[in-house]
Chains A and B, each alone.
Chain A
Amino acid sequence: MTINYPTNDDSQETGEITALKLEKDTLTQQVKRLIKAEGNLYKYQEELDAQLKEYKDLYELSRKIYATLDIRRIFEHTIQYVINNLEYERVLFFQPEEDLGGYTVCAIDGYYDGQEKDNVAGLTIFQDDPLLLPLLAGREYLICKTDSDDKDVQEYRARFLMSEYLIYPLGSRERPLALLVVGNSPENAEFHRRVSDDETALLGMGNLVGLLSSAVENHFLYADRKNALEHERLAEEKYRGIFENALEGILQTTPEGRFLSCNPATAAILGYSSPAELIESIPTIAQLYVSPQRRQEMYALLRKKRDVKNFEVEMYRKDGGKQWVLVSTRPIFNEMDEIIYVDGIIQDISERKRAEDAIQELNEELEQRVIDRTKELVATNLDLRDVTSQLESAYSELKATQSRMLQQEKMASIGQLAAGVAHEINNPMGFIISNLNSLKKYIDKVTGFIKIQSESVERLSGNGVIHDILKDLNEQKKSLKIDYILGDLDNLIKESLDGAERVKKIVQELKSFSRLDESDIKMADINEGLESTINIIWNELKYNTTVKKEYGNIPQANCNLGQLNQVFMNILVNAAHAIESQGEITVRTSSDEDNIYISISDTGTGIPADKLNRIFEPFYTTKEVGKGTGLGLSIAYDIVKKHNGEIRLESEVGKGTTFTIIVPISQG
């Protein structure tokens, strides 16, 4: 077995190769480390760049927000920083809303859907919301990550429309001056800075919030101070204005009465041109009091630490005149209970005083006048009561009269119409009757002649030709019913004459009823009046009534028969209406030396005793509504009364009623 040992050359080469391989391996490892180091370098460089940019941007932001005291501008700059530099998607600022007792959205960005923005812009986080409790307890921030399971922060995901968010309170006061919320929606979170509790990740927000808190606090401090100064200025201005322009005098004096200050109104009330003149001219206010006693009284009260209000004092004016003023004062005490100075207000009440005197005088005068006037009024009142009663009575009478006149007017119109119609019918009826009489005579003559002619012709019947003619004539005579016509002609004319006579009679009765062709009062036959009235209203009577006429032999009476006919008509119609089925009306007339008596009796229902004395009242009716006016008997009563007559009435329920009209024969 041969063992080959390496030569020196071989071993040298092998050694070099080994060394080279080692070197290569070393170099390879160095390259690997270099590549890694370079990768890390780039990574750190990128992070450093990002951090530097963040600090640079934060610096820019600080410059911007410290350059303004407008909180809205501060929020706007911050929002731009959060979105563009910190690269959170959405930002909300809340500010306290005292009225609501919570925080409301005051600045917003990152919501690019209008509906989403509107929803979030209306958010309110109430002061007692569990979300805020940790922050109010001093926690630096609240975080809601995508995997957070805290119920309170989870609930706000939907309200903020963020799947992850951070809330920071701004300002170091117990109650945050504002809340800053930053975060991302679930859809876009991957393209924005993620919400993380990693220290580095929170550093950016921490820096921002530190800066912002300070700026917001400064803003509010400045705003508070500015407001306080402004309030002070306004208050000073307001009170200065009140002091200078008040109508009341405002003054301040030492306890001894030396003026410390006073306003223009004080000077004016006391007749001085300016406060300075008053202060210089009056060493002590005591000399202004007309009654020094009043001042002592007032100071006695002040020393008892009592405010004096509306203390009436008379003071001297600059011109020596006197001036009533109303003084209200308040003493200011030092620690030793000594009065340091006295504040006072004086009001010019001279006008009031004058007015009070005038009012007093006027009151006295008025009281006397009231007493006198009361007496007059009592008397007048009594008179008035009588007059009122009379007026009421007159009014009732007037009303009744008016109604009666209307009814009479209506009746007169009807009468006038009837008379007119009667007049127009009367004349034609005259010649109709006359013509019918003439026609009757002519027919008699023509009938006689025809009879004679027929007999003569009959005698010619022997001649053959004539026989034929006669035959034709007889046939014609029969077919034309000439014999019947000749016989009936007489009846027709007779009936026509009867009808015409009846029309003539009715027309005459109408005329007689209305009597319009006669003067108001004249001698007239009352029986005739009754007859014509019954004929006129016969249609009203004939169905249930038998009219029994018992006319006496009475003289003519001096009367307005037309009006009396109206009386008869009203009573007769009432009588017919009082008869329910069939009955009887009896009309009687009689007379004595002075009067005509017309009685109309019916066998109707009769009038109850309690109604007897009312039936002549206007508008009183026992008939159904709409059937009677209640004026008929009232008018009848008036007409008879005008004739100086009277109407008497007897009635028994179930038996009937009798009206007796008494008319003087002559109207004296």
Chain B
Amino acid sequence: MGTSAGVGYSVNRNPAQAGKEAALKALEQAGIEKPDFVFVFATVGYNQRVLIDAIRETTSGAPLSGCSGEGIITRETVSETNFGVAVMTISSDELRFNNACVKEIKGEAGSAGEQLAIEINPFLSPDSIACFILADGLAFNFDPFLATFEKSIRHANPLPIFGGLAADNWASQKTYQYHDNEVLSEGISCVVMSGKGDIAWGVNHGCIPVGTKRIVTRSKGNIIYEIDGIPALEALKDYFDEDWKSEWNKTALNLCLGFKTPEHIREGYEEYIIRYMMAKNDQEGYVTIQSDVLEGTELWIVRRDKELIKNGLQSISHQIKDQTGARRPKFILQFECVGRGKVVFREGDKIDLIRSLQNDIGEEIPWIGCYTYGEIGPISNYNCFHNFTSVVTAVY
């Protein structure tokens, strides 16, 4: 039989109907009645409980993992609204999907990594292909998580990690992670994919530095206190418009931070890795990013460049096709940064870009994705965290 996957979506406002509608379409496209596994991405306007219940009921209670995003991506739609749900149903006799979850990760990224490793170790085997991590974008710190996770998992080779950080449409209040019947916040939903299959991926951001080098002069963990010896916010405020304090989420999108890509992964990547300032502290003047940063680190102000983004997507397509060769992917997962959607592209341009990428990689391949607060994808065999990036994974 191999692998049958199908994707359905709905923008119906009624959560029960939306969940059912999307799941039914996915099942219909896959040509199956009961799937082995279900991926779900949805936006936060819905009553999440009702939504997931409807999907579970329609998919006969098959194992389910997913998270909330700022928007959903399928072959039929690219929708950045508060009401959108995309469901992928997979039935396979060559791939296995085992899922797990970790709760209450805020400020506990290190122990969360260890705990998740313990949860998934029973599922790991020599034929394990990859791990998908869908974590709370408001509570996740990648570096301490990765350090303990990789240290604790029992797998001969480094296990590639893909995924994204759950979003909540700029509200910065609550994101959701889905694990079977559970709807979590401040958690991680994880899927281990094993069996007969391969994974190909591409990662690209499309940002470019503007201005001169800056130095992080005081930092701790993922907090940057000072840049060039002055409070971080003080150093950055001239780049912001007048309403920057109240519109931080979107303001920060226009001012990304670029750090030199570490030597060990530079060969397979671009010159800078990009970070989004997910939070700020007006009193102490610091900003928070989603990975650790050391004092003395060089940084550049970077901006998104539409041309580079377009070119970057083509690059992703090439990267994937180089890996898959003549083999047609069974399905694709895409984790796209919220900063690369409607906040930078006009609606029509954005859809054209995604369509172009989809068609480049291959027509009619089941495709599901979401707009995230952060992306995860390996560079040169090192699992890395990204911002303002598109991570596309093709299972073939």
Contact = CB atoms under 8 A, between A and B. Distances in A.
A84 B12 CA distance: 8
A112 B254 contact: no
Contact of A35 (B14, B83, B301, B343): B301
A39 B239 CA distance: 9
Interface in B6-34: 11, 13-16
Contacts of B255: 35, 39
Which DSSP category, helix, strand, loop or mixed, fits chain B's interface? loop
A39 B251 contact: yes
Contacts of B14: 112
Interface string B296-338: 0000010100000000000000000000000000000000000
A49 B241 contact: no
B171 interface: yes
Contact of B254 (A24, A31, A35): A35
Contacts of A38: 254, 303
A28 interface: yes
Interface in B342-375: 342-344, 346-347
A87 interface: yes
Contacts of B171: 190
B211 A53 contact: no
A110 B14 CA distance: 7
A20 B344 CA distance: 33
Contacts of B13: 83-84, 89, 109-110, 112
Contacts of B210: 31, 34-35
B343 A24 contact: no
Given A42-B254, A42-B344, A112 B15 contact: yes
A83 B11 CA distance: 11
Contacts of B49: none
B185 to A, nearest CB: 16
A36 B255 CA distance: 9
Contacts of B346: 45, 49
Interface string A15-31: 00000000010011101
Q: Chain B contact residues (Cβ within 8 angstroms of A): what range? A: 20 to 34
B169 interface: yes
A36 B45 contact: no
A128 to B, nearest CB: 34
B303 A27 contact: no
A29 to B, nearest CB: 8
A117 to B, nearest CB: 11
Contact of B81 (A39, A87, A188): A87
A32 B253 CA distance: 14
Given A84-B13, A191-B169, A36 B344 contact: no
Contacts of B301: 31, 35
A38 B44 CA distance: 28
B212 A36 contact: no
A509 B122 CA distance: 126
Contacts of A87: 81-82
Contacts of B251: 39
Interface in B39-64: 44-45, 47, 50
Contact of B82 (A27, A29, A191): A191
Interface in A559-583: none
A24 B44 contact: no
B347 A53 contact: yes
B15 A36 contact: no
A346 to B, nearest CB: 70
A24 B211 CA distance: 9
A495 interface: no
A87 B251 CA distance: 24
A227 B147 CA distance: 78
A192 B171 CA distance: 12
B392 to A, nearest CB: 24
B47 to A, nearest CB: 8
A72 interface: no
B250 interface: yes
Contacts of A24: 212
A40 interface: yes
Interface in A185-213: 188, 190-192
A89 B46 CA distance: 11
Contacts of B45: 188, 191-192
Contacts of B81: 87
Contacts of A35: 210, 239, 254-255, 301, 303
B211 A27 contact: yes
Contacts of A89: 13
Contacts of A192: 45, 82
Interface in A65-103: 83-84, 87, 89
Contacts of A27: 211
Interface in B234-289: 238-241, 250-251, 253-255
B258 to A, nearest CB: 13
Contacts of A34: 210, 303
A36 B347 contact: no
Contact of B241 (A39, A84, A190): A39
A253 B212 CA distance: 109
A46 interface: yes
Contacts of A190: 171
B239 A112 contact: no
A27 to B, nearest CB: 7
Nearest to B305: A38
B11 A36 contact: no
Nearest to A80: B13
A39 B347 contact: no
Contact of A39 (B16, B211, B254): B254
Contacts of A191: 44-45, 82-83, 169
Contacts of A641: none
A83 B17 CA distance: 15
A24 B213 CA distance: 12
Contacts of B11: 84
A240 interface: no
Given A35-B301, A112-B14, A191-B44, A49 B342 contact: yes
A89 B45 CA distance: 10
A43 interface: yes
A42 B347 contact: no
B17 to A, nearest CB: 8
A36 B15 CA distance: 39
A27 B250 CA distance: 24
Most chain A CB within a 10 A radius of its CB, from B15, B210, B303? B210
Interface in B184-226: 210-212
A31 B213 CA distance: 13
A283 B238 CA distance: 108
Given A28-B211, A84-B11, A36 B342 contact: no
Please name the 6 residue pairs, one residue from A and one from B, whose CB atoms are nearest each other, closest first: A191-B45, A39-B254, A191-B82, A31-B211, A35-B239, A112-B14
30 contacts: A24-B212, A31-B210, A31-B301, A32-B239, A35-B210, A35-B254, A35-B255, A36-B239, A36-B240, A36-B241, A38-B254, A38-B303, A39-B241, A39-B251, A39-B254, A40-B241, A42-B344, A43-B250, A49-B342, A49-B346, A53-B347, A87-B81, A87-B82, A89-B13, A109-B13, A112-B15, A112-B16, A112-B50, A191-B169, A192-B82
Given A28-B211, A36-B240, A191-B45, 14 more contacts: A27-B211, A31-B301, A32-B239, A34-B210, A35-B255, A36-B241, A38-B303, A42-B254, A42-B343, A49-B342, A53-B347, A87-B81, A112-B16, A191-B169
